[in-house]
């Protein structure tokens, strides 16, 4: 797993965020929503599929094992991704960026401030963006490893099952 994080995910996140800055140049809310859309339709599905492919192959399961693993956990994991990462990345791309722009305006002389239209890099400096994303990723990694473990153990992975199981438990009759 160290190889996965250090060699594959770390660099890919760095280049992905840098690429988003170069591709999406719109400032403010419009740029944030565009980055979220691109991130959640391109990067998220790809990295989730890559994770389960990598873990299956590293466990020696072969191509058939990859197909089986993906059929078990890909869609529930993608659903869990959509419950966490859009909100986290909104904070990452937009809320933190507003604070960075405000701080820049207060600390730099007027002639060195970046104009609003070219604040793509100021939305959130890469250093803080990756630190913030890694903090959220700690929670995500616990989930994704749990999902992988469930699949390895042959247990079904259904996010709705735990919610419906708790609501369908029989209630004990009230005593008076």
Residue 2, domain member (yes or no): no
Residue 44, domain member (yes or no): yes
pLDDT at 38 over 80: yes
Per-residue DSSP letter, 57:
H
Return the SS3 of 43. Answer: helix
pLDDT at 54 over 50: yes
pLDDT at 148 over 70: yes
pLDDT at 168 over 60: no
Residue 149's domain spans which residues?
12-108+119-155
pLDDT at 99 over 70: no
pLDDT at 121 over 50: no
Residue 41, domain member (yes or no): yes
Return the SS3 of 98. Answer: helix
- Find the range with the poorest average confidence among 48-57, 76-85, 119-128: 119-128
Counting DSSP H helices and E strands in the chain, the numbers are: 8, 0
Per the structure block, which two tokens stand in for 140?
A: 């995500």
Q: Please check whether residue 96 is in contact with residue 128, taking contact to mean a CB–CB distance below 8 angstroms.
A: yes
pLDDT of amino acid 98? 54
The reported pTM is 0.70
Residue 166, domain member (yes or no): no
Which percentage of the chain shows pLDDT scores above 90?
41
Residue 114, domain member (yes or no): no
Side-chain-side CA neighbours of residue 147 (13 Å): 27
Cβ-based burial of 56 (10 A; exposed 0-12, middle 13-18, buried ≥19): buried
> Between the ranges 11-25, 30-44, 123-137, where is the mean pLDDT highest?
30-44
pLDDT of amino acid 94? 80
pLDDT at 32 over 60: yes
Number of domains within the chain: 1
Residue 54, domain member (yes or no): yes
Residue 6, domain member (yes or no): no
Residue 5, domain member (yes or no): no
Task: Pinpoint the alpha helices (H) of 39-108.
Answer: 44-58, 62-90, 96-107
């Amino acid at each position: 797993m160290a190889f996965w994080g250090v060699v594959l995910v770390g660099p890919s996140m760095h280049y992905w965020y840098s690429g988003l800055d170069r591709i999406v140049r719109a400032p403010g809310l419009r740029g944030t929503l565009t980055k979220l859309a691109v991130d959640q339709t391109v990067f998220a599905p790809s990295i989730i599929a890559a994770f389960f492919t990598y873990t299956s192959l590293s466990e020696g399961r072969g191509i058939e094992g990859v197909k089986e693993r993906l059929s078990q956990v890909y869609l529930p994991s993608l659903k869990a991704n959509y419950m966490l990462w859009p909100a986290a990345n909104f904070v990452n791309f937009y809320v933190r960026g507003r604070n960075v722009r405000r701080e820049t305006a207060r600390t730099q002389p007027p002639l060195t401030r970046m104009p609003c239209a070219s604040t793509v890099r100021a939305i959130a400096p890469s250093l803080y963006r990756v630190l913030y994303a890694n903090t959220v990723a700690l929670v995500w990694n616990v989930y994704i490893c749990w999902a992988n473990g469930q699949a390895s153990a042959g247990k079904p992975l259904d996010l709705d099952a735990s919610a419906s199981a708790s609501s369908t438990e029989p209630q004990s009759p009230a005593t008076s």
